[in-house]
Structure 1
Amino acid sequence: MKLAETIKLHMTKEQKNIIIKAMNEYINTVNSLVSIATNGISIAKYTTADIDAPLPSALKNQCIRDAKSIVKKYNKNCHEASAKNSKLAKQKSTFTIKEPSIPVLKKPCCYINNQNYKIKDDHIEFPALIDGKVKRIAVRTSMTDRQKLILSDAKLGILRIVYKGKKIVAQIVYEAKEQQYLEEGNIMGVDLGIKCPAVSYISDGHIKFYGNGRKNKYMRRHYKYLRQNYSKAKNIDAVKRINNKEQRIMKDIDHKLSREIIETAISHNVKIIKLERLANIRSTTRKSRKNNHSLHTWSFYRLAQFIEYKARLAGIKVEYVNPAYTSQTCPVCGHVHHANDRNYTCKCGFHIHRDILGAMNICNSTEYVGDSNIRHTA
């Protein structure tokens, strides 16, 4: 599994100028190559000799790779749009799908292949163009002991130099070792929601609630209110800053929730974690003025992805089950009906919290619809 570590860079003024120049030249070169390819000229056999840019050969090669990848994805999207329009035309529909626009990189960045950089103590060495000559520069970093331990043993991948806010950082991709899946153990069902971010039920009877849905909704409303005020004042930079801050906070919350879920699974010897396949949930669920904003800002897919990769690192398999009626079906008699708010009471006398019922039915579900290798969207 490929993961990435973000490392702080402590550049001199001269190094910063060299790196910023390289980042700008990098995206300009990639955009130029993409423009050439989308205008009908093949770049399949392009080499560094075909590129006139003040960049080291190592970066020119990476520009070619990135441009080919972008063009391949763009052509695929164009083909899909064309196929859908042909299908709509046969159905005599007046609706047409707009063809995708030519992709353009806007944020300055720089990608360096793993063969062209080295990590030495607290420095990262990579090639740069200085006074028209290619030289290796050593940029000081502040790696934590954990990062040093990870990167010393792992197989390293590409080095990305990017902006994180107003600071320039290095992101190093590495191959993380996955544990072998457990053959014996318990099964955990995890019910994801808005009022309660996550509830787990384990086949040994253990139940646990995670996160604070009220706090999350308050934070969403608070940042929405700030964005509206800044929008009225036409302060676009402040709107972007507030939006980025909200995303960082919510992402951190999802990381903490997923880590807590995996820690619970490990402590209870769980071999399989079952999640709901919530594909198209936003278009199929009942809507109301009260919960529309919460529904459309619900990061269930990201949380599920975090649970997946942390589970794989721990040797726990992740499976997806059909979410239909998991919070409405009585596990005792099988009767299906809606809960009264958070309380579920069945005519047979069984009663329980609705979210616990959902986690319990997910845990016991045999309606398997995929595993962690199948991408699902909403």
Structure 2
Amino acid sequence: MKVVVRVKLLPSPEQAEALQATLHACNRAANAASGVAFTTGATHKFALQQHVYAALKVKFGLSAQPAVRVIGKVADAYTTRTAHLDKGLLGHKGSKRRARSEATPIRFRPDSAQPFDDRCLSWQLDARTVSIWTTRGRMKNLAFTGSPDQLKALAEHHQGESDLIVQDGMWFVSATCEVPEKPLNTEPTGFTGVDLGIVEIATTSTGQRHAGRILNRYRRRQNRLRAKLQKKNTKSTKRVLKRLRRRESRRARDVNHMISKSIVERAERTGHGIALEDLKGIRGRARQAKRNRYTLHSWSFAQLRDFLTYKARRAGVPVVVVDPAYSSQSCSECDHTSRRNRPSQAVFACTGCGVVMHADTNASRNLARRGEIVWNAGRSVSRPCPSL
């Protein structure tokens, strides 16, 4: 299983300047290669390399391996755009957006990430330094830092290329690690349903409830602060806004990591699988008042689902995705379905059997039952009887 480990570099001012010059040179070369690929139609790596390899080395001062990495980055970008066009993610056929995308070559920002292989970037884990190629020569003894888990993953499982990234003036290296997975539990004792929401970020059928009150208050506070600073619109407020960038997303990411870790650890300990609801397209389906739209669109349910999925894979916990239709209106005890079963957002009161419980707990139990049905249906095999 591939996992990306990001560590923070600690360059001196001179080293940071050399890294910046390297990124800019690589992305100028990528833009030149992208123009050739768009003009000639040579968007595959080997065909594009025959057109631009020598020119990239001479004109932009790239060595052999960095030039190959630049060509690979451009080829991958065109492959991704073709896939997005086929799926309709860039507009339907005949739309202006699709026509604009097809009529222009792909452009790379000056600070776009640049991939390096082991010939261009090597790790000295004991000394906590890396050696990296730059346009000003090989840079050695570039210090980095990371958490103990990240350093352990790098030491034991690093495999493949790494990306040099600059973000808000900070430098990072994202390394690919091939982490072994535990054997999948093919005989789960049951399934844990996970109901996702805004008021309660995640509620499980086993009794875990992760409230979103603190995170939602933080988001509202950050939103008010941004509006206040944007209204003032001075140089100092712009500096503060720049410093506050991504702070909210980092907080939400940390919360989602803690929630997913807790759910997966409990499922692994109890031998359960995990049943998740399929919320794809919910932002387009849900109807919200204008004052509530920010809350809906800042809801990072897809990120939490991704975290749950990859942590479960590492732990060998089976995960199934089920249809959430009417899970909040159906009684988990008698299966009676009615809108009147939800007198309020937090309360579920069945009008059929009279059971009363928290609404998210009831929905998570329905998801758990559906997950078990989906798992058993997927494992069943129908074979024709042998002829006598």
Output the TM-score relative to the length of structure 2.
Answer: 0.83
Q: Which residue of 2 aligns with 1:308?
A: 309
Q: Which residue of 2 aligns with 1:217?
A: 216
Following superposition, the deviation at residue 158 of structure 1 comes to 1.4
Letter aligned with residue 335 of structure 1: H
Q: Which residue of 2 aligns with 1:125?
A: 131
* Percentage of pairs with the same residue: 23
Q: Which residue of 1 aligns with 2:68?
A: 61
Report the more deviating stretch, 347-356 or 142-151: 142-151
The SS at the match of 1:198 is strand
Paired residues for 1:282-293 under 5 Å: 282-293=283-294
Match of 2:269 among 267, 270, 273: 267
The answer on whether the counterparts of 1:159 and 1:172 sit within 8 Å (CA) in structure 2 is: yes
Q: Which residue of 2 aligns with 1:180?
A: 183
- Residue by residue, what CA displacement relative to the aligned partner does 1:1-57 show, whole Å, maximum 9, x if unpaired? 221222232334443332221111111111221122223453624253231212222
Structure 1 19/217 Cα, relative in aligned 2: closer, same or farther at 3 Å? same
Q: Which residue of 1 aligns with 2:171?
A: 168
Gaps of 5+ in 2: 376-388
Letter aligned with residue 171 of structure 2: I
Quote the Cα distance in structure 1 between the aligned partners of 2:91 and 2:311: 38
Query: Are 1:198 and 2:202 an aligned pair?
Result: yes
Structure 1 261/83 Cα, relative in aligned 2: closer, same or farther at 3 Å? closer
Answer 1 or 2: which has greater helix percent: 2
Structure 1 323/22 Cα, relative in aligned 2: closer, same or farther at 3 Å? same
Quote the Cα distance in structure 1 between the aligned partners of 2:297 and 2:20: 37
Structure 1 336/74 Cα, relative in aligned 2: closer, same or farther at 3 Å? same
Quote the Cα distance in structure 2 between the aligned partners of 1:102 and 1:222: 41
Quote the Cα distance in structure 2 between the aligned partners of 1:269 and 1:80: 38
Quote the Cα distance in structure 2 between the aligned partners of 1:146 and 1:57: 34
The answer on whether the counterparts of 1:227 and 1:243 sit within 8 Å (CA) in structure 2 is: no
Quote the Cα distance in structure 1 between the aligned partners of 2:216 and 2:21: 42
Q: Which residue of 1 aligns with 2:349?
A: 345
- Residue by residue, what CA displacement relative to the aligned partner does 1:222-252 show, whole Å, maximum 9, x if unpaired? 1111222222233555445434111111111
Match of 1:157 among 156, 160, 164: 160
The answer on whether the counterparts of 2:196 and 2:301 sit within 8 Å (CA) in structure 1 is: yes
The SS at the match of 1:68 is helix
Letter aligned with residue 352 of structure 1: M
Quote the Cα distance in structure 1 between the aligned partners of 2:12 and 2:200: 47
Structure 1 143/226 Cα, relative in aligned 2: closer, same or farther at 3 Å? closer
Report the more deviating stretch, 296-305 or 237-246: 237-246
Q: Which residue of 1 aligns with 2:248?
A: 246
Report the more deviating stretch, 213-222 or 99-108: 99-108
Structure 1 98/144 Cα, relative in aligned 2: closer, same or farther at 3 Å? closer
The answer on whether the counterparts of 1:24 and 1:109 sit within 8 Å (CA) in structure 2 is: no
Structure 1 193/117 Cα, relative in aligned 2: closer, same or farther at 3 Å? same
Following superposition, the deviation at residue 189 of structure 1 comes to 0.6
Quote the Cα distance in structure 1 between the aligned partners of 2:335 and 2:291: 31
The SS at the match of 1:189 is strand
Paired residues for 1:1-378 under 5 Å: 1-40=1-40, 42=42, 44-47=47-50, 48-51=53-56, 52-78=59-85, 84-85=92-93, 97-99=97-99, 100=101, 102-106=105-109, 107-120=111-124, 121=126, 122-130=128-136, 135=138, 137-184=140-187, 185-201=189-205, 206-210=206-210, 212-234=211-233, 238-270=240-272, 272-338=273-339, 339-341=342-344, 342-347=346-351, 348-365=353-370, 368=374
Following superposition, the deviation at residue 290 of structure 1 comes to 4.7
The SS at the match of 2:208 is strand
Structure 1 17/276 Cα, relative in aligned 2: closer, same or farther at 3 Å? same
- Residue by residue, what CA displacement relative to the aligned partner does 1:83-108 show, whole Å, maximum 9, x if unpaired? 9335xxxxxxxx75543264322224
Quote the Cα distance in structure 2 between the aligned partners of 1:117 and 1:194: 42
Following superposition, the deviation at residue 79 of structure 1 comes to 5.6
Following superposition, the deviation at residue 368 of structure 1 comes to 4.0
Following superposition, the deviation at residue 119 of structure 1 comes to 1.6
The answer on whether the counterparts of 2:91 and 2:97 sit within 8 Å (CA) in structure 1 is: no
Gaps of 5+ in 1: 87-94, 370-378
Quote the Cα distance in structure 2 between the aligned partners of 1:166 and 1:76: 32
The SS at the match of 1:291 is helix
Quote the Cα distance in structure 2 between the aligned partners of 1:328 and 1:39: 56
The SS at the match of 2:230 is helix
The SS at the match of 1:327 is coil
Following superposition, the deviation at residue 302 of structure 1 comes to 0.6
Quote the Cα distance in structure 2 between the aligned partners of 1:80 and 1:317: 28
Output the TM-score relative to the length of structure 1.
Answer: 0.85
